[in-house]
């Protein structure tokens, strides 16, 4: 199994990062994900890259910064893979490394199963095509309204540019999750109002057994009702962590709802709202936490046009 996994990792590095012989390649990991990270490290060695592995203690929550020494190492590498329990995607360390030209793939919470099944097996040409189509719609939009099971939620995206996370990061400064397949944008702070029914999964909680109802006023989460609602509020804290930070749309038809948001938020027919930091992709919130909440098959209306009907993209 180990040799098979290294071969899978090698294929991922060659296909998604186009890692080359003699490039400097850094794998960032923590105590929880060290075993999987070593497989990626060994795959980099087989390609002939100058591979390095750095181990840090687990972060407390997604969006928390890595140590300064690791952030500096990320900036000086040609390519980086972050295999960690908590996500480094929405950190200044990743943003600054990308600005320096590093190609980065983040794999928060990834499991051995996810290396072999589900989203990672997708036709990434198809994923790219759909992701760019969704990005185009978001970039032209001004106002988003989400309807699901009688609950309505709306916010402004006017003046904001979306991010396409296609799973293919081959040019200097490209980055995103692996596995991937989403387009996402930072809603204008203070404009979000309404209620959301979350029935997919939540970072730090996992797969939802019964829906959680979230109430947002003027861009801030003010109430959460349902099983695990208290845990969500605890994860977010009482300050900027409760700010609406992201709206994302899944574009990977091979992805599954597993309870791991790395894959869950990529599932076609789902969307997600995240609370907390969005400074790294066009917003102004720096909260030290970023928690995604995934839900299934909503209607998404952008500027009075139905873009997704029960989760299905209307081309």
Coil, strand, or helix at residue 255? Answer: coil
Asked whether residue 66 falls in the same domain as residue 154, the answer is no
Average predicted confidence (pLDDT) for the chain: 95
Please give the pLDDT value at position 123. Answer: 87
Give the bridge partners for 194, in sequence order.
153, 216
- What are 23-52's pLDDT values in tens digits? 999 999 999 999 999 999 999 999 999 999
Among 184, 219, 133, CA closest to 294: 184
Are residues 129 and 12 both part of a single domain? no
The per-residue pLDDT for 121 is 86
Q: What pLDDT, on a 0 to 100 scale, did the predictor assign at position 116?
A: 87
Span 51-77, pLDDT tens digits: 999 999 999 988 999 999 999 999 999
Q: Are strands 143-148 and 50-56 parallel, antiparallel or unpaired?
A: unpaired
Q: Identify whether residues 107 and 171 lie together within a single domain.
A: no
pLDDT tens, 247-305?
A: 999 999 999 999 999 999 999 999 999 999 999 999 999 999 999 999 999 999 999 89
pLDDT tier at 1 (50, 70, 90 boundaries)? low
Please give the average per-residue pLDDT across 91-100, as a whole number: 96
CA angle (273 as vertex; 100, 252 as ends), nearest 5: 70
Tokens of 112: 């051995």
- Please write the tens of the pLDDT for every residue from 147-164: 999 999 999 999 999 999
Domain end marker among 116, 132, 149: 116
At which of 95, 116, 137 does a domain end? 116
Domain at 25, CATH number: 3.40.1830.10
Give CA–CA dist 168/130, Å, rounded.
Answer: 13
Q: Measuring CA to CA, which residue among 290, 254, 280, 264 is closest to residue 199?
A: 264
Peptide bond into 302 cis (omega under 30): no
Across 168-194, average pLDDT: 95
**Which of 116, 150, 183 corresponds to the end of one domain?**
116
Non-local CB neighbours of 222 within 8 Å, separated by 6+ positions: 215, 216, 242
The answer to whether 269 and 294 have CB atoms below 8 angstroms apart is no
- The structure tokens listed for 288 are 């030290």
Cis-peptide into 179, omega within 30 deg? yes
- One domain for residues 210 and 124: yes
pLDDT tens-digit map of 105-142: 999 999 989 888 999 888 888 999 999 999 999 999 99
**105 and 124 inside one domain:** no
Write out the residue range of the structural domain in which residue 217 sits. 120-313
Residues 125 and 103 in one domain: no
pTM of the model: 0.85
pLDDT digits over 210-247, tens only?
999 999 999 999 999 999 999 999 999 999 999 999 99
CA torsion, points 93, 97, 103, 108, in degrees to nearest 10?
A: 0
């Amino acid at each position: 199994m180990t040799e098979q996994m290294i071969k899978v990792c090698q294929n991922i590095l060659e296909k998604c990062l186009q890692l080359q012989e003699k490039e400097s390649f850094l794998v960032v990991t923590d105590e929880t994900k060290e075993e999987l990270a070593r497989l990626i490290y060994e795959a980099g060695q087989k390609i002939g890259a100058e591979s390095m592995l750095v181990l840090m203690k687990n972060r407390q929550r997604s969006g928390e910064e890595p140590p300064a020494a690791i952030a500096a190492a990320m900036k000086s590498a040609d390519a980086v893979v972050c295999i960690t329990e908590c996500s480094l995607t929405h950190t200044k360390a990743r943003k600054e490394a990308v600005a320096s030209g590093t190609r980065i793939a983040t794999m928060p919470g990834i499991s051995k199963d996810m290396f072999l099944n589900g989203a990672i097996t997708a036709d990434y040409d198809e994923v790219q095509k759909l992701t760019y189509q969704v990005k185009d719609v978001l970039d032209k939009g001004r106002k988003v309204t989400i309807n699901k099971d009688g609950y309505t939620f709306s916010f402004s995206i006017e003046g904001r540019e979306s991010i396409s996370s296609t799973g293919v990061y081959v040019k200097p400064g490209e980055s995103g999750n692996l596995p991937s397949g989403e387009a996402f944008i930072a809603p204008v702070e203070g404009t979000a109002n309404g209620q959301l029914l979350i029935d997919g999964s939540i970072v730090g909680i996992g797969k939802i057994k019964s829906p959680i109802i979230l109430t947002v006023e003027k861009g801030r989460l003010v109430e959460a009702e349902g099983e695990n609602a208290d845990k969500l509020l605890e994860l977010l804290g009482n300050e900027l962590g409760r700010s609406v930070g992201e709206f994302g749309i899944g574009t990977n038809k091979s992805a599954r709802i597993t309870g791991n948001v790395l894959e869950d938020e990529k599932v076609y027919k789902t969307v997600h709202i995240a609370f907390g930091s969005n400074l790294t992709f066009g917003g102004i919130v720096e909260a030290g936490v970023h928690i995604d909440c995934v839900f299934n098959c909503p209607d998404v209306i952008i500027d009075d046009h139905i873009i997704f009907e029960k989760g299905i993209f209307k081309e």
